[in-house]
Chains A and B, each alone.
Chain A
């Protein structure tokens, strides 16, 4: 079945460091790919998305590129801030009909940024 695998956490970085959180997926067909962020005590928020191969999603300095050849959607940010500390979830979803109308999430990666 469809699945998402993201790197194990926790990830601890110093402020202004470069961030990469790896995400790979397994799916039949051509899913849309998402990154969600969950700040402490809150629900998940959509951070960015890409709907087809080679698309790049970006938001708040974060970027991820949909790589069909490597079935990956790695999250990157050039310079993290303390306020980026959160749990990050990679997810896939299908925009076709039938029973595939849902999102599948990875297990989440906890990021802690120290000043």
Chain B
């Protein structure tokens, strides 16, 4: 199994630009999570999908952030417009039934730098 695949691995963009992060979950998993990791705030859950439907988006910091999951094998996290404080590592994770019993499997992450 290829695991959770994220792209790009690194992204450098200018303030005000739109950024799209991509994630392909493990085949057969029906839950998908987007996390953000920074030194100051640690690991934060941004949004969580179950069967392609957003279940909990209370962690999305503001309206500039949006996430979609058009099908079971693909999700995007978009930031528009981007700001320097959005610089972080963004992780996608997938699991069966939310990972509550079995845990979740993480991708390698996308390191975003907004200058």
> Count of A residues near B, CB < 8 Å?
26
Interface string of B39-67 (1 = CB under 8 A from A): 00011010010100001100000000000
**Chain A proximity of B27: nearest CB distance (Å):** 18
Question: Does B108 belong to the interface (CB within 8 Å)?
Answer: yes
Please name all residues of chain B whose beta carbon is closer than 8 Å to the beta carbon of A49 when the two chains form the complex: 102-103
Stretch from B71-79, B80-88, B93-101 that touches the partner: B93-101
Known A102-B45, A103-B103; contact A95-B91, beta-carbon cutoff 8 A: no
A interface list, Cβ under 8 A from B? 31-32, 34, 36, 42-46, 49, 51, 89, 91, 93-96, 99-105, 107-108
A102 contacts B103, C-beta separation under 8 Å: no
B106 contacts A101, C-beta separation under 8 Å: no
**Chain A proximity of B29: nearest CB distance (Å):** 12
Q: List 26 A–B pairs whose Cβ atoms lie within 8 Å, in order of A's numbering.
A: A32-B101, A32-B103, A34-B103, A43-B93, A43-B106, A44-B91, A44-B106, A46-B104, A49-B102, A49-B103, A51-B101, A89-B43, A93-B99, A93-B101, A93-B103, A94-B98, A95-B100, A99-B55, A99-B56, A102-B33, A102-B45, A103-B100, A103-B104, A105-B45, A107-B42, A108-B43
